[in-house]
Amino acid sequence: MLHLADITANLDIYTAGLIKRNLPQASELLAKVIKLDEDRKATQHKLDNNLAEANLMAKQIGGLMKEGKKEEAERAKSKTAELKQENKALGDKLAGIQAELQGKLYQLPNIPHTSVPAGNSEEDNEEIKREGEIPLLHEKAVPHWELIRQYDIIDFDLGVKITGAGFPVYKGRGARLQRALINFFLDRAEAAGYKEMQTPIVVNEASGYGTGQLPDKEGQMYHIDEEDLYLIPTAEVPLTNIYRDVILNEEDLPIKNVGYTPCFRREAGSWGAHVRGLNRLHQFDKVEIIQIVKPETSYNTLQQMCNYVEQLLNDLNLPYRILRLCAGDLGFTSALTFDFEVFSAAQNKWLEVSSVSNFENFQANRLKLRYKNENGQKQLLHTLNGSALALPRILAAILENNQKENGIAIPEVLRPYTGFDRIGER
């Protein structure tokens, strides 16, 4: 959530940032927010004065009665009753203004960092790096949805039987490879200084609002009506909400956490060839890293996190590219995001496997996540997160890019985890 003091102090910057996000009505939206904030302050000021006056008169009434000044005491009682009624109306008015103001702020996305390119869609994203050799398999490469049937390692039909489309069953060496990837990613994160956390995979509404999934993505989240709970779309939600309503000490920073969870997304409206096989699922596994840092260090931290994800892809020997997302493709809460995509040999296209983002203080403002600086002042922190990594498309790329005449070769770094070096005949 955008910070009101920042908006007021830097109105031109925030207006330009929202316009860059393709919100041409930015000036009007921010003007309404500022007007509501002014109304809130004026109403709060009037209410505070009335309460102070009512408290003073209440103290005076007893003294007037003792002094025998009954008429003055009665007038004071009458005035106190009037103030009580007025304060009730002011309190109701203040609550209404605050609710409307909060609602307006919840509808505003984060403003993009100055380095974010303008644009309307993923077509306008900026490729900043490409590494690795593209396998020369295009014409003879078998797509992963055929390979998994051939080697009987993932079964979509069983998933449909048990649950529905988009919920695969991993079998035998497919399940072992899935577990190997999870353990490999967790071990690498721990070695990089991240603390492993095992969190719930169901969260309450406050957690959804805290990290910005609500109200922006409620249509993509699975909702449990009876308890008003949500299945998580990413471990970012519980990992970051650990620190909701928390004031950290400076010596506690940076916070570096990692977590493995299954993730659940309805993917409403998804269709076509891009959803085949492992390309887009309703349930999938992901290892997520988050950091909570002081504002002045967050962009150095973002680069460190990108370097970390890049090394994972190098270790898996997968060709990849890095994109800087344009303003039109930027997530609602993000100020700057880098997407990592791996090349799919059989599909002859790039598949997104990670997004690494800096949210600046947008999430922290919602979470009321602050720290005490060296002067003892409370200051909002910056939050960051990254997929490290999402498994389905990594698995698809491993299967498609490592096809051999005698099976599918397993990347060397995974072999200590799998206990085998290939899937299929030797």
**Same domain assignment for residues 227 and 352:** yes
The verdict on residue 360 lying in a domain is yes
**Same domain assignment for residues 92 and 241:** no
**Same domain assignment for residues 147 and 78:** no
Query: What is the H or E stretch that residue 255 is in?
Result: strand 255-264
The verdict on residue 335 lying in a domain is yes
Residues 6+ apart with CB under 8 A from 277: 143, 144, 145, 148, 156, 396
Alpha helices in 131-262 (DSSP H): 144-150, 156-162, 172-191, 205-211, 236-241
Q: Which residues in the chain show pLDDT less than 50? A: 426
Q: Where are the beta strands (DSSP E) in 319-396?
A: 320-324, 336-344, 349-358, 370-372, 378-380, 382-390
pLDDT for res 64: 66
pLDDT for res 375: 87
Between CA 332 and CA 221 the distance in angstroms is: 15
pTM of the model: 0.93
**Same domain assignment for residues 97 and 147:** no
Residues 6+ apart with CB under 8 A from 375: none
Residue 424: CB atoms within 10 Å: 16
Q: Which of 106, 130, 147 is the last residue of a domain?
A: 106
Average pLDDT, the chain: 93
- CATH value at residue 277: 3.30.930.10
Residue with tokens 């931290």: 301
Side chain identity at residue 364, one-letter code: A
**Same domain assignment for residues 222 and 83:** no
User: What is the full DSSP assignment across 161-184?
Assistant: HHT-TT--EE-HHHHHHHHHHHHH
**Same domain assignment for residues 169 and 276:** yes
* pLDDT per position as a tens digit, 282-308: 999 999 999 999 999 999 999 999 999
Residue 321 sits in which domain range? 122-423
Q: CA dist 237 to 230, 242, 362, Å?
A: 11, 9, 14
pLDDT for res 122: 95
pLDDT for res 332: 97
